[in-house]
């Protein structure tokens, strides 16, 4: 004879939230929190579906494990079937109450919010539209909140109903085997072998879950065991607090570990997206105007987001008179020429690390850097006042300011202690550029008036030392304006005009005064030939 699992058509599982009580609690956990570990799985699944996203993470998995551990320590494993059934009826009533709340909320917003807004639109469309927009947003949030709670309760009910039937059925199998009513064929005879080895366990299993049975809660049993130890009360308190703090710290540490895993995986995902081969997309939004183009460059994921936004922006400005500059070719409007390489030279008021907060920092930006020169470490370090056997000597910083106008339209600016040093230093740094100096203006900061009264307003004179160099490469991704007529020959020649993609800054150290071991390899990678991609 095969024992069938008991079934109750009126069982409803629970609607209460998982328990947060500690192991030290001496009260029996409410049965309404039955099997919250499994219910938590369905709970966050439904929440994510309502939110429009369904993702697993280490933090969510750890939350499920924590809920399962709390359940195992605080659940009354000796709860009678009658008590379960009574609480299921209460859970069913609570669910119907939530159903009424959800329907009432929806009808309230519909009758007192949406319908009046539509009536107002019939005689004042502008006012009605604005009110309907505000009411609609609030109504959506309220109804989605109620619906989410309703579905969560329903899913938890169904989950607990299934698990409760499995729990009761398993308990009946064990009790029948202990009482000798049925052989435990469903368990493969394991229960019989265990009972033969542990007779006391067999006696306990005969009355497992009988009405009026004494509750059996693991957290209580641990507490009772500690209190029964033949030791002083202070040591009992010691062990109780040890276990309690261990549990809390373990849970907290687990969340930190899980968060670290999620953060690492997220960073890996971002890094993988960055490393993806970028593409260039050329869009002609208006077929009647083939010369109007939208050029986008990036990875596949970046383009998915940008194409829609670019087309939407085009529709907004299409046909609008917002100025003659809009849509003008870059070659006709650009003043400063495109620089394929831009380097930034950083200096510190201390010669070597550790710098600390007291070390002042300065930087010099150079456009149109010549890759045959800035890749030479000796040329870079000498331009900043060092090099050779002397190493990192730097130069004197002060109140004389120099601004050189370069032939590419950019400016080269720095401060020195004298006008002669300003001229010398600007000329040395300009040697690293493809552009040449067109004009040079040098001014002096006078320490008078407010600068004389307030400390910190005027420049001090001190030595600055090379610290590092930062290189940014701009790679051409589209050659829409890549050729122009040569004035002398009348032939077409390549230009730097076009559309460029900026690389991430690459930094190399200078403070040692000697060429770093990775200098040549890094510069070779930065300046390697990159073919112009074919637009999609």
DSSP states along 245-302: HHHHHHHHHHHHHHHHHHHHHHHHHHHHHHHSPPEEEEE-S-TT-TT--EEEEE-HHH
Phi/psi at 515 (5° precision): -65, 125
Q: Say yes or no: 182 and 304 in one domain.
A: no
Whether residue 398 is found in the same domain as residue 522: yes
Q: How many domains does the chain have?
A: 3
On whether both 306 and 356 belong to a single domain, the answer is: no
Residue 18 lies in a domain: no
Task: Please indicate, yes or no, whether residues 306 and 359 belong to a single structural domain of this protein.
Answer: no
pLDDT score for 256: 92
304 and 406 both lie in a single domain? no
Q: Residue 275 has what pLDDT?
A: 59
Is residue 207 within 8 Å of residue 41, measured between CB atoms?
A: no
- Do 354 and 475 lie in one domain? The reply is yes
Both 305 and 199 in one domain: the answer is no
- With H, G, I as helix, E, B as strand and everything else as coil, classify residue 366: strand
Give the pLDDT confidence score for residue 146 in this predicted structure.
87
- 47 in a domain, yes or no? yes
Choose one of 265, 300, 316: the last residue of a domain: 316
Cα 7 from Cα 161, distance rounded (Å) = 10
Dist. CA 415–CA 111, nearest whole Å: 72
Handedness of CA 405, 406, 410, 415 (dihedral sign): negative
pLDDT of amino acid 477: 58
| Residues 348 and 302 occupy one common structural domain | no
Q: Please tell me the predicted confidence (pLDDT) of residue 534.
A: 55
Task: Assess if residue 494 is contained within a domain.
Answer: no
The last residue of a domain, from among 187, 202, 228: 228
Weakly modelled stretches of the chain, pLDDT under 70: 1-55, 182-188, 271, 273-277, 318-338, 388-391, 476-504, 530-536
State pTM to two decimals: 0.41
Residue 289 and residue 358 share a domain:
no
Pairing mode of beta strands 506-509, 279-283: unpaired
Of 228, 245, 262, the residue at which a domain comes to its end is 228
382 and 304 both lie in a single domain: no
Which pLDDT does position 379 carry in this prediction? Answer: 92
**C-alpha to C-alpha distance for 507 and 363, rounded to whole angstroms:** 13
How far is the CA of 383 from the CAs of 309, 380, 392, in angstroms?
45, 5, 11
Range of the domain at 511: 341-480+500-527
d(CA 374, CA 345): 11
Cα dihedral 431→435→438→443 (10° resolution):
-60
Query: Which pLDDT value is given to residue 55?
Result: 61
- On whether residue 448 sits in a domain, the answer given is yes
Q: Residue 493 domain-assigned? A: no
Q: Looking at the structure, do residues 370 and 310 belong to the same domain, yes or no?
A: no
| Residue 534 lies inside a defined structural domain of this protein | no
Same domain for 355 and 311, yes or no, is no
């Amino acid at each position: 004879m095969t024992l069938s699992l008991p079934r109750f058509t009126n069982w409803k599982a629970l609607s209460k939230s998982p328990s947060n009580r500690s192991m030290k609690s001496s009260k029996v956990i409410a049965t309404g929190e039955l099997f919250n570990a499994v219910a938590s799985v369905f709970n966050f699944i439904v929440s994510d579906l309502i939110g429009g996203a369904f993702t697993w993470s280490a933090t969510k998995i750890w939350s499920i494990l924590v809920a399962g551990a709390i359940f195992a320590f605080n659940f009354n494993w000796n709860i009678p079937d009658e008590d379960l059934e009574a609480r299921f009826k209460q859970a069913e009533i609570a669910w119907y109450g939530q159903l009424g709340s959800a329907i009432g909320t929806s009808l309230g917003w519909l009758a007192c919010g949406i319908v009046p807004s539509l009536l107002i639109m019939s005689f004042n469309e502008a006012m009605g539209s604005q009110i309907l927009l505000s009411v609609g947003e609030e109504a959506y949030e309220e109804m989605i909140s109620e619906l989410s709670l309703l579905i969560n309760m329903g899913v938890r009910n169904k989950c607990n109903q299934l698990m409760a039937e499995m729990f009761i059925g398993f308990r009946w199998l064990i009790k029948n085997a202990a009482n000798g009513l049925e052989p435990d064929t469903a368990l493969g005879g394991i229960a019989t072998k265990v009972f033969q080895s542990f007779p006391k366990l067999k006696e306990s299993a005969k009355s497992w879950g009988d009405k009026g049975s004494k509750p059996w809660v693991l957290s209580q049993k641990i507490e009772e065991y500690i209190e029964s130890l033949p030791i002083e009360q202070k040591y009992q308190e010691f062990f109780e607090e040890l276990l309690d703090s261990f549990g809390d710290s373990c849970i907290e540490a687990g969340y930190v570990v899980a968060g670290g895993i999620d953060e690492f995986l997220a960073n890996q995902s971002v890094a993988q997206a960055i490393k993806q081969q970028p593409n260039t997309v050329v869009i002609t939004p208006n077929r009647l105007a083939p010369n109007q183009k939208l050029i986008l460059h990036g990875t596949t994921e970046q383009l998915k987001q940008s194409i829609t936004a670019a087309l939407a922006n085009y529709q907004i400005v299409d046909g609008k008179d917002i100025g003659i500059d809009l849509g003008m070719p870059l070659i006709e409007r650009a003043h400063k020429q495109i620089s394929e390489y831009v380097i930034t030279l950083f200096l510190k008021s201390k010669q070597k690390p550790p710098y600390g907060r007291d070390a002042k920092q300065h930087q010099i930006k150079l456009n149109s850097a010549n890759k045959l020169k800035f890749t030479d470490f000796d040329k870079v370090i000498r331009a900043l006042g060092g090099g050779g056997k002397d190493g990192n000597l730097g130069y004197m910083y002060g109140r004389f300011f120099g601004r050189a106008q370069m032939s590419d339209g950019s400016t080269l600016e720095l401060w020195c202690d004298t006008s002669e040093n300003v001229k010398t230093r600007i000329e040395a740094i300009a040697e690293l550029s493809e552009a040449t100096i067109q004009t040079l203006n040098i001014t002096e900061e006078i320490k008078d008036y407010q600068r004389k009264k307030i400390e910190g307003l005027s420049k001090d004179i001190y030595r600055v030392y090379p610290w590092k160099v930062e290189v940014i490469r701009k790679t051409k991704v589209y050659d829409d304006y890549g050729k122009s007529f040569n004035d002398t020959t009348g032939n077409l020649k390549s230009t730097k005009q076009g559309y460029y993609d900026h690389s991430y800054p690459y930094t190399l150290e200078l403070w040692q005064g000697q060429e770093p071991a990775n200098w040549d390899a890094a510069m070779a990678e930065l300046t390697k030939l990159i073919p112009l991609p074919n637009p999609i």
